[in-house]
Amino acid sequence: MRIRPFGVEIWMNAWEHRCRYNLAETCVWSLSIGELLDIAGLRDADLAAELRPMRLTYGDIEGSDRLRAAIARLYDTVPPSRVTVTHGAIGANALVHQALVGPGDIVVSVVPTYQQHVSIPEALGAEVRQVRLREADGWRLDLDELRRAVGGRATLIALANPNNPTGALLDETALHEIARIAEAAGAWILADEVYRGLDQEGSGTTPSIADITERGISVGSMSKAYSLAGLRLGWIAGPADVLRAVSIHRDYTTISVGMVDDLLAGIALEHASAILRRNRAIVRGNLATLDAWVATEPRASYVRPTGGTTALLRFDSRLSSEAMAIRLVESAGVLFTPGSALDAEGTQRIGYANDPAVLADGLAHTSLALSTLG
């Protein structure tokens, strides 16, 4: 299978260890194992008691009962039997596309988005119809445009909610309408929900597509909303027949996730509400910092995000997005992700959920660098 190079991953591989202020990071400020244990009310000895007798063989193929039960509690209607654990959300997304999409199928992808949701179905031989979010519309999805793109025979609708990179959020009303569109066409909905739980308003958690329609498939992860990217653990929650199709492909790539990763993820998700409280405080506080900076920085503008950890900034410059990003990291030590890596030329993606001090200092250094631009 030939596939396009993954723009954002190539950029991060090249630059994320060469900056002082990483404002391209999209995970909420990572937890240490000690911090995780504190949140869970456990001592080092408690964890050691679970780890020392553990024989490091293959773990449970679909994930341990403990972990799948904890994941299921993140949903209203999904039992543990309808959860499969994967190597990160990146593995989950790939498996769903591989299981459901083939040559001649139609995939409708809401863009800009994580590149998997365009490049994988393209590589599988599908026709990918892109429905574009527009900055002039506040990055809101045009449901009529989505309906026209789906037509009567689309196989899959792929979207991210909250959206990466714009930070736009589909609310419950919009999700129900998308469900009706999919049901009328007999299409599946793949919702990449790795930022779910990080809404800027209200309870902080929008309903999952897996709870709204039987055509809904939810992908989640320990990386973004739960601050544990180092576990490299994600999951798929969806209909049983979809998981059976996924399992055929999963057997070729996964076998099982690591037993230690499974254990730590289970501990974390048993205390999901506490982690989300911590992380909502970070993203809401940091967005206030970013909002204040944009309001006073004459060369920056944006549409304020409503969920997740990312937003698209525009800088007043004649430079291409990549040239601008390189200028900022080389002159100021501040790393953004150029829009060219995200099919959003003319913008810079900021991840605003890192250490609040890193964000504040990085924005200050960005202003210094912007002041020298012609």
Averaged pLDDT, 170-187: 98
How far is it, in rounded angstroms, from Cα 321 to Cα 349? 10
For 84-131, write each residue's pLDDT tens digit. Answer: 999 999 999 999 999 999 999 999 999 999 999 999 999 999 999 999
Averaged pLDDT, 326-348: 97
Averaged pLDDT, 6-33: 97
What beta strand segments (E) does the chain contain? 21-22, 83-86, 106-111, 127-132, 156-160, 188-192, 216-221, 234-237, 300-302, 310-315, 334-335, 337-338, 348-351
Residue 202's pLDDT is 96
Residue type, 157: I
How far is it, in rounded angstroms, from Cα 313 to Cα 173? 27
Handedness of CA 335, 119, 99, 141 (dihedral sign): positive
Percent of the chain with pLDDT over 90: 99
Q: 366 Cβ partners below 8 Å, 6+ apart?
A: 23, 297, 300, 328, 332, 334
- Domains of the chain by range and CATH? 7-33+273-369 (3.90.1150.10), 56-271 (3.40.640.10)
For 25-42, write each residue's pLDDT tens digit. Answer: 999 999 999 999 999 999
Strands 337-338 and 348-351, by their bridges, are antiparallel
The answer to whether the pTM exceeds 0.85 is yes
Residue 153's pLDDT is 93
Q: Model confidence at 373, in pLDDT bands (50, 70, 90)?
A: confident
Cis check: omega of the bond before 305, within 30 degrees of 0: no
Averaged pLDDT, 132-137: 98
For 34-86, write each residue's pLDDT tens digit. Answer: 999 999 999 999 999 999 999 999 999 999 999 999 999 999 999 999 999 99
- Is residue 374 predicted with pLDDT exceeding 70? no
Residue 1's pLDDT is 85
Q: Taking CA 256 as the corner, what is the angle to CA 255 and CA 261, rounded to the nearest 5 degrees? A: 155
Q: Comparing C-alpha atoms, which of 47, 52, 60 is closest to residue 258? A: 60
Q: Taking CA 341 as the corner, what is the angle to CA 191 and CA 99, rounded to the nearest 5 degrees? A: 35
**Which phi and psi angles does 131 have, rounded to 5°?**
-105, 115
How far is it, in rounded angstroms, from Cα 74 to Cα 91? 20
